[in-house]
Structure formats: structure tokens, C-alpha cells
Amino acid sequence: MLRLRRSLKILVAAGFLLWIVDGYLLMRSESPRPAPDPAAGTATTTGPGTTTGPGTTTGPGGGARYSGAIHMHSTYSDGGGSVEDIVRAGQNAGPDFLVLTDHDTMQPLIDGHQGYHDGLLLLVGEEVNTSAGHLLSLGVGRDVSQDGPLGLPALVEEISESGGVSIAAHPTGRRPWTDWTLEEMDGLEVLNGNSEWRDDGVLELVRALVFLPFMPDEVFNSLVDRPDEAIRLWMHRAQRQPVTVIGSLDAHERIKLWGERHLSFPTYERMFGLIRTYVITSTELTGDAEVDEEILLNAIHRGSCYVVLEGYEPAPGFSFELTMGQETKSMGASVAYQDGGRLHVTAPSSGPVRIRLFRDGVPLIETEGHELFVEVPGPGVYHTEVYQLRGTLLRGERQRLWIISNAFRVE
């Protein structure tokens, strides 16, 4: 019996040691990549185009592009930090713009917080509580709300008629979005940073807690997976009409403990470096907050943007274009099918990647490399996803989601 107990202890200790080693190697494979080497013909952290000004990058297909951290909460609602705290975190993390979306209030706008803060643009929107879930209202310039249990269509129409953008927040999260019949709703969050860890298993979360003090970048990256259900909902809706997808944070810097006590975690700065939405605009930002809000939101409304897991590597050089006849279009466009049309994906990175092209949500073709040319086989909704290839000693090669594009609708 004594020998059996000793053997069991050895087995448990060996299993625990193997779990620790496997976890460490797994986390190592989640490390951020260094900036690509320009001499190798890939993009630098300012992209393969030319830098035309602070925060401005001209990408491979033309157009200025800006990275944004979208969807966060301050002490105006249930966030743990002030607007000033959020701005400081943004200045440290490096996005070109932030979008503040406190719950059911536009008081930050009334109090004059929207505008440029030492080069960082802060826009003020709102996360509206509705009968179908939470809805981001961006660019309206005033507080909006649902009037009665049947008032959701009127709310979405009001946002649209005011020149704003409406986005379904955390559509597959704890409070999912339930009404997909609203034709004027512009899009959805395909990635939500506050929802990503919630679908992980117990062992994954325990491993994350063990390694968090030592490898925080790697731990946060490891908790983001492909949002299968959100992509399915997006593709289902995109069969009928154009739909924009964005990557959001839902950052609070607050975990409630008991009473008035709370933990300031995860920090705004950490979240701002995790998921970004890159917006491709037809003109550069001007430095006038009101004008630039319109430029950015118009591009988001068109679907001229893409989602990046920034924690792995910035992606200012990514491009997804459609050439049909003599015209080349950027993401979000709807075009009539013609023979000879081509899709072109460019995904510069300092390491190996896999580009996957989807038609109506179904994989069409994939390649290992930083570029893909494909002839358009016929009508459909086309989007691309880019995965970083990362290897571990015990698990072999793994592909980890890095970029989700917006879609072309070929009719």
C-alpha cells in the first residue's frame, strides 16, 4: 500500500510538472511578434506604404488608415477609471482613436471630453440598453433610447437618420443580441474582448491565472479564439444586406469584489493593446474632431475596416481588394459579378501566416504566405481571415487568429 501511494504521488507530481511545462511552452507560442523587417520586403509597423503624418499610414491599396480601440466604459457608467485615465491609457497604448461608449448616457460629450488630446482622438458614443440586447450608438451626438417594448426599430432608424452608426454589442456574449430582422442596423462586434475568455474551459482559465503574473501578453492573447458563432450570424445577415463587423474591447478596468470594493483589472492600457479595428478612410484626418468623427464613422459604415488581434502584431499593411473589370474596390463594397474578377489579399508579418478565403462563410481556399490572388468564382459574400502559424514542442504547429476582414458582396 505504501508503495502504491508513493507511485501515485510520483504520477501526480509528474503530471503536474508536464502540465506546467506544456502551459509554459503554449504561452511562449502566444508571444507578440517583433516588427517586420523592411529589408525583407514586408511591412514595418507603419505599413508598407508611406507615413503621411502622425497616426496616418497609406496602405498597399491606397487610402489612409487608422487603428482604433472601440467600446469602453468610464466612471460615467460602470467603468473603473475616469475619462482622463482612459485618455492616458490610450496615449500609452498607441491607437489613433478611442471610442467611449458608456451605458445609456452621453454626459461625457456634454462635459466636453470629445476631441483631440495631445494627438489622440477621443470620440463619445453610447451603449444603449434595448429589448434585444445592447446596441452601440456612434456619431449621433445626443442620448438616444428605446421608447417602449416595441420601439427598437424606431431607435435604430433614429440613429440612421441622424447620420450615426448602430452596432450590436457582444452579440454572442452573456447578453446576446436577439433581433436580426432590423434592416437599418449597420453591423455587429465580431470580436468582443470582454466576452472572449468566458467561453474558455476551466483548465484554460486556471492555466491563464497561473501564468498571468509572468506572461501577461501571452495570457491575454491565448484567451482569444475564432468567434465561430459571431461569424455565422454575420454571414447569415450578409446574405441579405451589407453588414459591418468591428473588433471591440468592452473595457471596464473594474471587477467588482464586494460592497464598494473592486479590482482595477484588466487595465485599459492592456485592453487597448489587445484588439483593434483598423479603419481605411478615403481622406486623411484633419485634426478637427467633428470632421474626423464623420470621416471615421463613414468608413466604418461602409465596412472599410478590419479587425486585428493587436496583441500578436500590428497589421497596418493588411489589404483585401476586389478588382472587377477596370475598378478596384476596398472592403465593404457591393459589386455586380463579371468574369475575370480577382480578389487580392496582402498580409505582411514578421513570421509565417496562413491566409484563408471564405465564400458565404464556407472556406474556399487557403495558402501559407503573405499574399493571395484568387479569381472570383461567382456571386457570394467574400471575406478573409489571416492566422499566425505558431509552433510548440509538445503540440506541434498551431494556427492563431490574427485578422478578420470585412466582406465584399458580389451579386
225's grid cell: 479564439
**Residues 177 and 271 grouped into a single domain:** yes
Distance CA 84, CA 89 (A): 9
**Residues 212 and 250 grouped into a single domain:** yes
**Residues 160 and 190 grouped into a single domain:** yes
Distance CA 103, CA 133 (A): 12
60 has pLDDT over 60: no
The answer to whether position 109 is within a domain reads yes
Mean pLDDT, residues 88-111 taken together? 98
**Domain boundary at 265, 300, 316, which?**
316
**Residues 98 and 246 grouped into a single domain:** yes
**Residues 311 and 334 grouped into a single domain:** no
Return the SS3 of 103.
strand
The answer to whether position 39 is within a domain reads no
Distance CA 290, CA 288 (A): 6
Mean pLDDT, residues 270-291 taken together? 98
> What are the tens digits of pLDDT across the range 222-249?
999 999 999 999 999 999 999 999 999 9
Distance CA 121, CA 124 (A): 10
294 has pLDDT over 60: yes
The answer to whether position 245 is within a domain reads yes
Query: Could you give the percent of the chain with pLDDT greater than 70?
Result: 93
88's grid cell: 492616458
Give residue 10's pLDDT. Answer: 85
Nearest to 172 by CA among 250, 78, 69: 250
Mean pLDDT, residues 86-107 taken together? 98
The structural domain count of the chain equals 3
The answer to whether position 23 is within a domain reads yes
Cβ contact 97:120 at 8 Å: yes
The answer to whether position 252 is within a domain reads yes
Per the model's pLDDT, the better-predicted residue between 205 and 56 turns out to be: 205
**Residues 235 and 96 grouped into a single domain:** yes
Distance CA 328, CA 351 (A): 28
Q: Model pTM?
A: 0.92
Mean pLDDT check: name the lowest of 37-51, 160-174, 266-280, 296-310. 37-51
Mean pLDDT, residues 1-25 taken together? 84
> What are the tens digits of pLDDT across the range 182-199?
999 999 999 999 998 887
Give residue 18's pLDDT. Answer: 86
Give residue 394's pLDDT. Answer: 78
Give residue 37's pLDDT. Answer: 63
**Residues 104 and 14 grouped into a single domain:** no
Q: Phi and psi for 159 in degrees, rounded to 5?
A: -60, -45
Give residue 5's pLDDT. Answer: 79
Cβ contact 155:128 at 8 Å: yes
**Residues 283 and 362 grouped into a single domain:** no
Return the SS3 of 151.
coil
Question: Which residues constitute the domain of residue 346?
Answer: 318-411
**Residues 223 and 284 grouped into a single domain:** yes
pLDDT bucket at 19, cuts 50 / 70 / 90: confident
> What are the tens digits of pLDDT across the range 139-150?
999 999 999 989
**Domain boundary at 265, 299, 316, which?**
316
26 has pLDDT over 70: yes
**Domain boundary at 272, 287, 316, which?**
316
Cβ contact 353:370 at 8 Å: yes
257 has pLDDT over 90: no
**Residues 163 and 295 grouped into a single domain:** yes
**Residues 94 and 214 grouped into a single domain:** yes
Give residue 164's pLDDT. Answer: 98
Distance CA 271, CA 161 (A): 32
The answer to whether position 409 is within a domain reads yes
DSSP track, 378-391? SSEEEEEEEEEEEE
Residue 193 is part of a domain; what is its CATH number? 3.20.20.140
Tell me the pLDDT of the chain averaged across its residues: 92
Distance CA 251, CA 388 (A): 25
**Residues 345 and 225 grouped into a single domain:** no
331 Cα distance to chain centroid = 15
Q: Pick from 32-46, 192-206, 244-258 the range whose average pLDDT is largest.
A: 244-258
Helices (H) and strands (E) in the chain, counts: 10, 24
Residue 381 is part of a domain; what is its CATH number? 2.60.40
The answer to whether position 281 is within a domain reads yes
The answer to whether position 44 is within a domain reads no
Q: Pick from 195-199, 257-261, 384-388 the range whose average pLDDT is largest.
A: 384-388
Query: Could you give the percent of the chain with pLDDT greater than 90?
Result: 79
pLDDT bucket at 52, cuts 50 / 70 / 90: very low
